[in-house]
Amino acid sequence: MLKAASIKRCALPRGPASAGTLYSKRFGSSFGTAIETAEKMVQPGVSNPFDPFSMVSAEMGVLAKHIAQLIGSGHPVLNRVASYYFEAEGKNVRPLIVLLLSKALAKIPDEERTRIIIDQYDVNDQPEFKGTPKAFSFAGANPLQSITPLKILHGINPNIILNPLSRPMIDQDAYVTLDKKNGILPKQRRLAEITEMIHTASLLHDDVIDFADSRRGRDSGNIAFSNKMAILAGDFLLGRASVSLGRLRNSEVVELMSTAIANLVEGEFMQLKNTVLQPDTKSIDNDGQSKKIPEPTGKVPVKVHEYSVNPLNTISHQDNVNAAFEYYLHKTYLKTASLMSKSSRSTAILAGCNENIIENCYQFGRNLGLCFQIVDDMLDYTTTAELLGKPAGADLKLGLATAPVLYAWKEKPELGPLIARKFSQPGDVEIAKTTVDVTKGVEKTRELAEQYRNDALKNLRHLPDSDARSALELLTNSVLTRSK
């Protein structure tokens, strides 16, 4: 787990020399060149031969269509709500990462794939790995095929209902042929779709929890349909994603992605109840009213979270800040970076890569995910609702202490009581914003995001040189420079 006290920010000096040039001197030419090349890619007016979206345009172009067919239901209103967020223009970063990683990993020589036999790129053709019993190698090599008989899945004759689980999205031969041509395995493409389904389900739930009124430039799901329908649609998406996940027929990937779903919930609870800054674990805030939590009966052991051991007023200010940063970064991992890191690791597992590549894919997703959310938290202070496609300045109004205000608190201890009461009193939000400006909290947050960006680029250097890896480098840099 990351501790704020141990964070060493790599602040890049400004001036004539580029960051890439400076890093060439500091870390070696290979890594410095990667940063310098990627920096040039994101400069306005510079031709970009490694555009991430163009490289997988065929797959991204049909992403929403394929997902819509996966999540279709026999109920027309459920169809409408479940597909609502896929209609709008989203960033689609998560499936993009999976697809680009898939293409980059395709360049690894067969002899370096320790989890795969040459020319047998499917888990059903592989020998058992690390004691995995043959019971997990189900019949059928294609992720479009069901494991359980359809009449059992549906509980009704599948021929008389319109249900996506009863028919393939496209011709299976065409599906396999297309992906083989593009260097993407069918199961990796399906993983990209599953990842976006899980993410979108979390958005539907988050918007209800956060009382959001807009998402992707239009009414949020809870406003357009109602809280109940938005929650149910999110649950339905997770159910459909779980079915598709099982059809990948890889128990390790199922374990990873299922854990990512649980992490999303854990992260949301950490955000709802900050046990560092609000150490009372016996009550919760319920629409502005304090509500006592029922006492445990003792039948089920309930552990006290490690973050809540020391009350706010019994340790030093520096220890408080360090604990708050540790809590913030862990919450950020769970809410955002977990899905990116575990889907990246799953991509490498499905490609049969060796342990070093699998670990670097995981760390790449983790570092990129942390960078992505930290930038998101920074943009909440610096951009407009029109650019974001969702309410700007919402974090403070929701009582959230993200990196900019935590950096401000580090220099201004008097901000602590405002953070502890979640900026709930009149004038608290305005005071916090002013303090962030005075202490340069946004600038320090950018430096923190740069650190994770640089670490993600280092992870990519373990992959073979390819156009897809260059596109991932560009994507990594663009996360830091985005405005929405």
Q: Which of 24-28, 98-102, 329-333, 342-346 has the lowest mean pLDDT?
A: 24-28
Contact between 401 and 271 (Cβ < 8 Å): no
* Per-residue exposure over 309-348, b if at least 16 CB sit within 10 Å of its own CB, e if not: eeebeeeeeeebbbbbbbbbbbbbbbbbbbbbbbbbbbbb
CB atoms within 10 A of CB 408: 25
Q: Which two tokens stand for residue 287?
A: 């629409």
Find the mean pLDDT for residues 196-214. 94
Q: Which of 26-35, 143-152, 222-231, 415-424 has the lowest mean pLDDT?
A: 26-35
Total residues found in the chain within this entry: 484
* DSSP reduced 3-state for 289: strand
Adjacent-strand bridge partners of 284 = 291
Q: Which two tokens stand for residue 162?
A: 């319109």
Is the pLDDT at 31 greater than 50? The verdict is: no
Name the helix (H) or strand (E) containing 282: none
Q: Packing angle between helix 428-438 and helix 403-411, nearest 10 degrees?
A: 80
- Rounded to whole angstroms, how far apart are CA atoms 258 and 244? 12
Name the helix (H) or strand (E) containing 286: strand 283-286
Q: In the chain, helix, strand, coil percent, each to 5?
A: 65, 5, 35
Contact between 334 and 264 (Cβ < 8 Å): yes
Residue 121 binned pLDDT confidence (cut-offs 50, 70, 90) = very low
Residue 204 binned pLDDT confidence (cut-offs 50, 70, 90) = very high
Name the nearest CA neighbour of 251 among 355, 350, 184. Answer: 350
Is the pLDDT at 17 greater than 50? The verdict is: no
pLDDT at site 115: 74
pLDDT at site 426: 93
Across 64-73, 84-93, 179-188, 430-439, the highest mean pLDDT is recorded for 430-439
Residue 252 binned pLDDT confidence (cut-offs 50, 70, 90) = very high
Is the pLDDT at 283 greater than 70? The verdict is: yes
φ and ψ at 405, to 5 degrees?
-75, -25
pLDDT at site 391: 62
Residue 208 binned pLDDT confidence (cut-offs 50, 70, 90) = very high
C-alpha gyration radius of the chain: 23
- Rounded to whole angstroms, how far apart are CA atoms 389 and 215? 6
Find the mean pLDDT for residues 50-70. 87
Q: Which of 51-60, 76-85, 118-127, 299-308 has the lowest mean pLDDT?
A: 118-127
pLDDT above 90 as % of the chain: 46
Domain ranges of the chain: 34-273+310-481
Is the pLDDT at 463 greater than 70? The verdict is: yes
Is the pLDDT at 330 greater than 90? The verdict is: yes
Contact between 371 and 456 (Cβ < 8 Å): yes
Q: Which CATH number fits domain 34-273+310-481: 1.10.600.10, 3.30.40.10, 3.20.20.10, 3.40.50.300?
A: 1.10.600.10
pLDDT at site 146: 73
Is the pLDDT at 51 greater than 80? The verdict is: yes
pLDDT at site 346: 96
Q: Which of 157-161, 187-191, 207-211 has the lowest mean pLDDT?
A: 157-161
pLDDT at site 185: 86
Contact between 237 and 201 (Cβ < 8 Å): yes
* Cα–chain center distance at 341: 7
Is the pLDDT at 1 greater than 60? The verdict is: no
What's the DSSP call for residue 120? B
Sign of the torsion formed by the C-alpha atoms of 444, 446, 452 and 454: negative
Find the mean pLDDT for residues 40-68. 74
- Rounded to whole angstroms, how far apart are CA atoms 274 and 284? 10
* DSSP reduced 3-state for 291: strand
- Rounded to whole angstroms, how far apart are CA atoms 404 and 382? 11
- Rounded to whole angstroms, how far apart are CA atoms 477 and 484? 14
pLDDT above 70 as % of the chain: 71
Exposure on the CB side of residue 357, measured as CA atoms within 13 A: 23
pLDDT at site 293: 81
pLDDT at site 438: 96
The pLDDT tens digits for 209-247 are 988 899 988 999 999 999 999 999 999 999 999 999 998
The pLDDT tens digits for 335-368 are 999 999 999 999 999 998 999 999 999 999 999 9
Is the pLDDT at 136 greater than 80? The verdict is: no
pLDDT at site 302: 72
Name the helix (H) or strand (E) containing 7: none
Name the nearest CA neighbour of 186 among 215, 235, 144. Answer: 144
Q: Which two tokens stand for residue 161?
A: 């209902």
